[in-house]
Structure 1
Amino acid sequence: MLTTILLTVAPRTVEWSPTIGLIMVLCNVLAIAFGKLTIKHQSTGGAMPSSSMFGGFGLGAVLGTTCFGHILGAGTILGLSYIGAI
């Protein structure tokens, strides 16, 4: 009984398109910029292969900002699809 109720509650999903990809890239860039301004010890942890390419971020800062960017992007994409903008 509970399984059938849970199966009927499904989130709204959209198919991938270049617009979806652009939104995700922009959200990740925004999250990295936010991290660059707010992370106090950016190079703490393991080093990235080319530190100049990653803005001097260490492994922890790169993982943290990109995780935040994906969470932000997923919320933005779901929200925009819910209101019918994409």
Structure 2
Amino acid sequence: MLTSTLLAAATAPLEWSPTVGILMIVANIFAITFGKFSIKYPSSEPALPSSNLFGGFGLPALLATTAFGHILGVGLILGLHYLGRF
């Protein structure tokens, strides 16, 4: 009975579209920019192979900013879907 109640309360699934991809890219760019100005030691070890290609980030800073960008992007996309914008 609980399963049928949960299935009845579920919303329509979110279909992937280029707009969803663009929003995720924008969220990641924002997170990387935010990290560039707020991380105290952005070039800490281990270094990336071509660090100038990655904005001078080390591996920890790159992983942290892209993880934050994905969390931000998912929240943005699901929030807009909940509001009916997608």
TM-score range, shorter chain: 0.7 to 0.9
- Look up the match of 1:26: 26
Q: Which runs of 5 or more structure 2 residues have no equivalent in the other structure? A: none
Question: CA offsets, 1:34-83, max 9 Å, x none?
Answer: 00010010011211111111000000000000000000000000000110
Query: Runs of at least 4 residues of structure 1 off by over 2 A?
Result: 4-13
Cα distance in 1 for partners of 2:13, 2:62 equals 27
Aligned CA RMSD, in angstroms, stands at 1.8
What is the aligned length?
85
Question: CA offsets, 1:9-46, max 9 Å, x none?
Answer: 65664111100000000000000000001001001121
Q: What is the percentage of aligned positions where both structures have the same residue?
A: 56
Q: Secondary structure at the match of 1:31?
A: helix
Q: Calculate the TM-score normalised by the size of structure 2.
A: 0.87
1:85 equivalent to 2:85? Answer yes
- Look up the match of 2:76: 76
Cα distance in 2 for partners of 1:67, 1:6 equals 33
